[in-house]
Amino acid sequence: MFDVLRSMRDMDVWVPRTVVQMRRLGVQSVPIALFIATFTGIVLALLSSYSFSGAVPLYFVGTLIGKTIMMELAPVLTGLALAGRIGANIAAELGTMRVTEQVDALETLAFNPLSFLVVPRVLAATVMVPLVVALAMAVGVTSGWITAISLLDLTTPEFLKGLRLFYEFKDIWFGLVKSASFGLGIAAIGSFKGLRTGGGAEGVGRATTEAVVISASMILVLDAFWAVILL
Amino acid sequence: MRRRDEVLVGTTIIASLAAIIFGALYLSKASLWTSTEIRVARFRTTGGLGVGAPVNLRGVRVGRVNVIRLGEQNLVEVDLQINQDAVASGILPERPGVIAASASLFGEWEARLIDLDLPPDDANVLADLSLVIESSDDGAWPGATLPDIGELTAQASRIAGNITDISDRVTTVLDDEAVGELQQSISDFANTVQNINALAEQQRDVFGTVSQNVERTSDLLADAAMRLQLTLARVDSATSEGELSTIMANTATISTDAAAMLGDLGSIVGVVRANEATIGRLFAGADTVLAKLETGRGTAGLLLSDSALYQEATLAITELRSLIADIQANPRKYFKFSVF
């Protein structure tokens, strides 16, 4: 990580490539994140209404959807999905470049592989994952709202009442801070595993698998860490 | 290709930031276009009141809790963000106070603005408000906290427990035997009611007669009342013609005279009492004289009891009168005066 920080001095190298990585790692991840968020909102609305039948007012469906999606489900589920997509992408790409000696070629051409390959990916993931998660939050809450008014005996004012009931701004930035750490970790682990790849195609596959597994585990560990620190 | 990447990335970033900002503002019920003013309220404790909690006036939201911090004198200071519209319209009370209270059974709290001229009828709240008023002289709004719903629930639970105890005791008292006795009492009461009904049937004629008598008596009373009314009318007329006044004046005069007489009589009695001993002696002497007269003792007694003596005395008086007449006629016959 210290090498990556030192490599950020070469801004002429990594800045132009960061936008490309932001599109590849962020924009192209939006569909899968929104897909997950949509169905998460639907299931959450139905599950909460099932759980609340009885003493708890039904407008707490809005409270549960808002809190859980913004603070937990959108960041974690999106992070896990992006761990598979981004982590595998970075590890496989960099691993292939390593086994095909493209990284060595860059070094031969006096390019810093970290500035050229790692910094753009890490920055792009750190910036774009929270933004993708923010969209996932909005879509997840919206799908939960539509489910509540369509399939449950709940009106829009009631849903919004529950949604606003215990809302704090911390609910949003807590999820975004977690997401940024997830993006940073996923890109860093994928880059690390990719650049450390050896053993040909088999090594690339192994590095990719390890990057995804470690990234997913890291997401859960960071999730608990931030819960302890920020809540 | 690179231009397209930039557009896509930029669009995604803008959309995400828009979602974050709009969502945060909407969910926090904050508005960028509504100006607000900060008012400081002080509480002994704020209970479950939190930042972002609504500030309501008569149930209508007029602001939100902005900051909660510990203040001086063991008080808690709360910054209330009041909408400028509410402040400018003058709907806030002249002497505002703040009550922190549960807004629902599920832990929501709100700050209610009240008029201190119409404080709630709660001793604890009034005590809290008085404490803050005495401790603050900088215009901060005094605040008080109503009990948490948990405390109320615990109190209700205790009451429910007491009711359960009472129910158990009632159940203990109302055992099968007691219930049987109660049923027997009810049956007896029903029989008593039937007997009373039968008696009432029997006494119906008597009651009719009594009713007629009562009616007749009532007529008589009415007649008497009429007469009394006539009498009173006469009295009224007499009063109106001044006769009664004259009578009353005469009566007053007579009373005055009688009072004077009683005064004189009192004086006489006083004199008599003063000379009681003399009078007693006088009566005693009179008794002695009368006794002697009755027994014929003494000169007077002899005169009264002896007729010969009376005749002689009478004769002597006659002769004495003749002598006096002779003396008057011929004084020189009996008296002789000479100077030398």
- Kindly state whether B213 is in contact with chain A, defined as any CB-CB distance less than 8 angstroms: no
Say if residue B64 is in the same domain as residue B118. yes
- Say what the pLDDT of residue B247 is: 67
Cα(B22)–Cα(A100) distance, rounded to whole angstroms? 47
Q: Is the pLDDT of residue B51 over 70?
A: yes
**Residue of A23, A126, A143, A158 best to disrupt the B interface, most CBs of B under 10 A:** A23
Task: Find the radius of gyration of the CA atoms of chain A.
Answer: 20
Cα(A40)–Cα(A21) distance, rounded to whole angstroms? 27
**What is the DSSP track for A62-119?**
HHHHHHHIIIIIHHHHHHHHHIIIIIHHHHHHHHHHHHTTHHHHHHHTT--HIIIIIH
Q: Is the pLDDT of residue B340 over 60?
A: no
Say if residue B115 is in the same domain as residue B182. no
- Say what the pLDDT of residue B88 is: 84
Q: Across residues B140-158, what is the average pLDDT?
A: 80
- Which B residues, 7 through 26, put their C-beta within 8 Å of a C-beta on chain A? 8-9, 12-13, 15-17, 19-20, 23-24
Phi then psi for residue A24, to 5 deg, are -70, -45
Q: Across residues B114-134, what is the average pLDDT?
A: 85
Q: The domain that contains B77 carries what CATH number?
A: 2.40.10
Nearest to B8 among A23, A138, A168 (CB): A23
Does residue B64 contact residue B55 with C-beta atoms inside 8 Å?
Answer: yes
Residue A138's CB: how many other CB atoms inside 10 A?
22
Q: Distance, in angstroms, between B103 CA and closest chain A CA?
A: 10
For the stretch A116-169, pLDDT in tens is 888 999 999 999 999 999 999 999 999 999 998 888 878 888 888 888 888 888
**Residue of B4, B11, B27 best to disrupt the A interface, most CBs of A under 10 A:** B27
Say if residue B213 is in the same domain as residue B281. no
Does residue B101 contact residue B53 with C-beta atoms inside 8 Å?
Answer: no
Does residue B102 contact residue B149 with C-beta atoms inside 8 Å?
Answer: yes
Q: Distance, in angstroms, between A130 CA and closest chain B CA?
A: 9
- Kindly state whether A22 is in contact with chain B, defined as any CB-CB distance less than 8 angstroms: yes
- Kindly give, in sequence order, each residue whose CB lies less than 8 Å from that of residue B275, ignoring residues fewer than 6 positions away: none
- Kindly state whether B179 is in contact with chain A, defined as any CB-CB distance less than 8 angstroms: no
DSSP helix/strand/coil, B38 = strand
Residue type, A19: V
Q: Across residues B218-247, what is the average pLDDT?
A: 74
- Say what the pLDDT of residue A32 is: 93
Q: What's the Cα-to-Cα distance from B108 to each of A63, B104, B326, rounded to whole Å?
A: 12, 6, 152
Contact A169 B9 (CB under 8 A): no
Percent of chain B with pLDDT over 90: 6
- Say what the pLDDT of residue B233 is: 79
Q: Name the pairing type of β-strands B96-102 and B109-115.
A: antiparallel
Domain end position, chosen among B198, B226, B241: B241
Look at residue B214 and tell me if it is in a domain.
yes
Q: Is the pLDDT of residue B266 over 70?
A: yes
Residue A111's CB: how many other CB atoms inside 10 A?
15
- Say what the pLDDT of residue A48 is: 85
Q: Distance, in angstroms, between A63 CA and closest chain B CA?
A: 11
For the stretch B180-207, pLDDT in tens is 888 888 888 888 888 888 887 877 777 6
For the stretch B68-96, pLDDT in tens is 999 888 889 999 989 888 888 888 888 88
Cα(B158)–Cα(B317) distance, rounded to whole angstroms? 130
Say if residue B20 is in the same domain as residue B55. no
Does residue B4 contact residue B53 with C-beta atoms inside 8 Å?
Answer: no
Considering only CA atoms, which of A107, A87, A110, A85 is closest in space to residue A97?
Answer: A107
Say if residue B12 is in the same domain as residue B66. no
- Kindly state whether A26 is in contact with chain B, defined as any CB-CB distance less than 8 angstroms: yes
Phi then psi for residue A33, to 5 deg, are -65, -45
Domains contained in chain B, number: 4
Phi then psi for residue A50, to 5 deg, are -65, -40
Considering only CA atoms, which of A87, A219, A109, A25 is closest in space to residue B8?
Answer: A25
- Say what the pLDDT of residue A82 is: 92
Look at residue B257 and tell me if it is in a domain.
no
Q: At what angle do helices A169-195 and A74-82 cross, to 10 degrees?
A: 10
Look at residue B207 and tell me if it is in a domain.
yes
Contact B20 A176 (CB under 8 A): yes
Say if residue B39 is in the same domain as residue B128. yes
**What is the DSSP track for B46-67?**
-TT--TT-EEEETTEEEEEEEE
Say if residue B224 is in the same domain as residue B304. no
Q: Is the pLDDT of residue B1 over 70?
A: no
Say if residue B283 is in the same domain as residue B237. no
Phi then psi for residue B104, to 5 deg, are -160, 180
Residue type, A5: L
Is the ipTM higher than 0.90? The answer is no
- Say what the pLDDT of residue A65 is: 92
B123, with CB counted inside 10 A (0-12, 13-18, 19+), is: exposed
| Site of tokens 């399939």 | A151
- Say what the pLDDT of residue A53 is: 67
Say if residue B52 is in the same domain as residue B130. yes
Cα(A177)–Cα(A225) distance, rounded to whole angstroms? 12
Look at residue B321 and tell me if it is in a domain.
yes
Look at residue B308 and tell me if it is in a domain.
yes
Q: Which domain holds residue B12?
A: 1-30
By C-alpha distance, the chain B residue nearest A173 is B20
Say if residue B42 is in the same domain as residue B107. yes
- Say what the pLDDT of residue A8 is: 73
Give chain B's mean pLDDT.
81
Look at residue B72 and tell me if it is in a domain.
yes
Look at residue B310 and tell me if it is in a domain.
yes
Question: Checking phi first, is residue B299 left (phi over 0); if not, alpha (psi -120 to 50) or beta?
Answer: alpha
Cα(A69)–Cα(A171) distance, rounded to whole angstroms? 9
Say if residue B43 is in the same domain as residue B118. yes
Q: Distance, in angstroms, between B60 CA and closest chain A CA?
A: 15
Look at residue B286 and tell me if it is in a domain.
yes
Six token digits for residue B57: 């006036």
Say if residue B128 is in the same domain as residue B68. yes
Q: Distance, in angstroms, between A135 CA and closest chain B CA?
A: 6
pLDDT, one tens digit for every residue, chain A (231 residues): 777 777 777 777 777 888 888 888 888 899 999 999 999 999 999 888 887 766 777 888 888 999 999 999 999 999 999 999 999 999 999 999 989 989 888 888 877 888 888 899 999 999 999 999 999 999 999 999 999 888 887 888 888 888 888 888 888 899 999 999 999 999 999 999 998 888 888 899 999 999 999 999 999 999 999 999 887
Q: Is the pLDDT of residue B175 over 80?
A: no
- Kindly state whether B27 is in contact with chain A, defined as any CB-CB distance less than 8 angstroms: yes
Question: What is the enclosing helix (H) or strand (E) of A139?
Answer: helix A119-151
